[in-house]
Amino acid sequence: MLDRVRDLWAERPALVAAAGIAPVAFVITLLVLFLAVGGSDASQPEQQAAAQQDAQTEQSADQADQQQVTSQPEVTVIVRGTQSTDAQSDQTHSDADEAQQQSQQVEVQQQSDAQQEQQQVVAQQQEEPEEPSGPLMVAGFEVIPLSNLMPDGIEEDALKHGSDGSEGAILPRANGVVRSSGARHQTNWELIIPSAGLKSAVVSLGRTPTGAMGSPDNPYVVGWLDSTAAPGEVGNTLLAGHRDYEDISGNIGTGVCWELNNTRVGDHMLIWDEELNVYYVYTVTETVTLDPTDRDSARYLHNTDEPVVTLITCTGSFNTETHRYSHRLVVVGELAAVASPDA
């Protein structure tokens, strides 16, 4: 074998060298591959560990970033030319508060100005002398002192017929008597007729069931038919009073109009208005006795174009069976003046 090799080496040394080198190269190649594969396998666990460590590190970093984002306060992003909803709401409330404050300041200033103007007016009024006021006018008349019309005044002691109505309803509901006592029938008026010795309260009353003018249920007062003109007004103020009476207990006495037949044309009839503190002074223009069944007598119940007062009472013969008088006494007065009480 060796001889054969020597012969080949002598004849073809390159071939023998190649044959000898090839196995060695093959072994070396195998060794290199083995080392390469083995090294790769050995480094793989390390690479995997490194990769896992990198992944854990990255996850920790993500969690930290997430926690940081979560823990950071909410930030309102303002874009140029726009605002977030919260910012707009805050701005709106701020503007509204500012407007309200300005409005309150303006209102306070206006009130202050008004108070200053009022104080200036009061100061001017105190400095300037008061101009004399015009005459007091009531019912179209200049109010004058009562003494200008009645120099002797009113003799109170002679006014013995009439009362304030405190007796209440003491007459039976018959012969035209209607309810007239009680608070709702009270007025602010009082009738005074010096010639008849009459001074009494005036109460309101209505009509009888048949539509006739009623008479008071108290014989000491004068009744005013509340559907007619009030004292002092234009129109016919209808009044009624009893001449005498028999009350519900059978007592007989004289009424508020007992001496009305003494009144003559030209005498005064006064109605005192407590609310206005004036007298409506009427001058008697007519006294007449008439039959109530006479159709012409109804004209005294009609309204008028002038302020007049018409007082009606009973007169004539008395019928004991019917408890009625045969006639009526009518006294008419025309408003002549409005007077104030003497000081």
Model confidence pLDDT, tens digit, residues 266-318: 999 999 999 999 999 999 999 999 999 999 899 999 999 999 999 999 999 99
- Predicted pLDDT at 342: 83
pTM over 0.95: no
Contacts of range 156-159, beta carbons closer than 8 Å, 24 or more positions apart: 156/199, 158/194, 158/197, 159/192, 159/194, 159/197, 159/198, 159/199
- Predicted pLDDT at 73: 42
| CA distances for 142 relative to 229, 248, 336, 339, angstroms | 21, 46, 11, 8
Q: Residues in the chain with pLDDT < 70?
A: 1-97, 99, 106, 108, 121-133, 343
- Predicted pLDDT at 155: 95
CATH 2.60.120.10 fits 141-340, yes or no: no
How far apart, in whole angstroms, are the C-alpha atoms of residue 45 and residue 139? Answer: 127
> Checking DSSP bridges between strand 198-205 and strand 186-193, what pairing results, if any?
antiparallel
Cα 67 from chain centre: 64
The answer to whether residues 235 and 307 touch, using CB atoms and an 8 Å cutoff, is yes
Hey, CA dihedral for 215, 217, 219, 225, is it positive or negative?
negative
- Predicted pLDDT at 148: 95
Domain residues of the chain, as ranges? 2-65, 141-340
- Predicted pLDDT at 72: 45
How far apart, in whole angstroms, are the C-alpha atoms of residue 237 and residue 309? Answer: 5
Q: Give 173-182 pLDDT, tens digit per residue.
A: 999 999 999 9
Record the tokens describing residue 244, joined without a space.
């005498």
- Predicted pLDDT at 102: 73
